[in-house]
Structure 1
């Protein structure tokens, strides 16, 4: 159990640090691309999407390692043996979709629970960052505020 707890918290820390670094990079560099403001928003969305894919892939590797090498749990239900199946499972958990066609058994359940919380937090963080970027970059935001109607 202790191994699963340590592995889960190390995974959360690694993905938080990675995501933080991606957000710092985006905040510092998107304006340097000399793109139109709407295109800058598109770059932000694409990079954040790719960051989430990397984080899902990281958890997929953690699951594979946890099952094959550390033996802290197994998966029941739909077969989970290939990299794509681990990636699928991780994506379902990270996005908190939770289809239930694959069930974790053993201490690996704790890692699954922490990935769900972590994914929810990181997706929300990305949405907040995108919202703030759009408020700064998107030209129609001032038009939607109704400030012209009050003149």
Structure 2
């Protein structure tokens, strides 16, 4: 149990730090790319998407090690036997989709719960960052901002 709790909190710390560094890099370097502003927003979205894929991968590797090496639990339901299965499971949990075709048993349930909360926070952080970047980079038409409705 202590190992599962330690792994879960370590994963949260690693993914938060990684996400922070990516956001810091994007905020600092995207304007230096000399791209049109709309393209800068697209770069931000693509990099953040890939960042989430890496974070899902970090959890998937941990699930694989947790089952095969650390013996912290198993999965029932659909078989989880290869890398793509672990990535699928991690992606479903990270995005809080929760399809339920794979159920964790044992102490990996705690890691699963922490991944769902962690993924929710990181996705929200990315959405906030993208929203702020779009507000800074895009010139909005007055019909989008409500300025044409002023009396």
Normalising by the smaller structure, the TM-score range is over 0.9
Normalised to the residue count of structure 2, the TM-score between the two structures is 0.96
TM-score, structure 1 length as denominator? 0.96
Unaligned residue ranges in structure 2 (runs of 5+): none
How many equivalent residue pairs? Answer: 151
Residues 135 and 141 in structure 1, CA contact (< 8 A), matched pair in contact too: no
1:27 aligns with 2:27: yes
Aligned to 2:52: 52
The residue aligned with 1:7 is 7
Would the aligned equivalents of 1:60 and 1:86 in 2 still touch at CA under 8 Å?
yes
Report what 1:37 is aligned to: 37
Provide the rounded CA distance (Å) in 2 between the counterparts of 1:100 and 1:2: 26
Kindly indicate whether residue 109 of structure 2 is the aligned counterpart of residue 136 of structure 1: no
Q: How far 1:117 sits from its partner (Å)?
A: 0.2
Q: Secondary structure at the match of 1:7?
A: helix
Pair 1:67–1:38, CA change in 2 (3 A): same
What are structure 1's unaligned runs of at least 5 residues? Answer: none
**Shift, 1:141, TM fit:** 5.7
1:140: how far off?
1.5
Cα RMSD after superposing both structures: 1.2
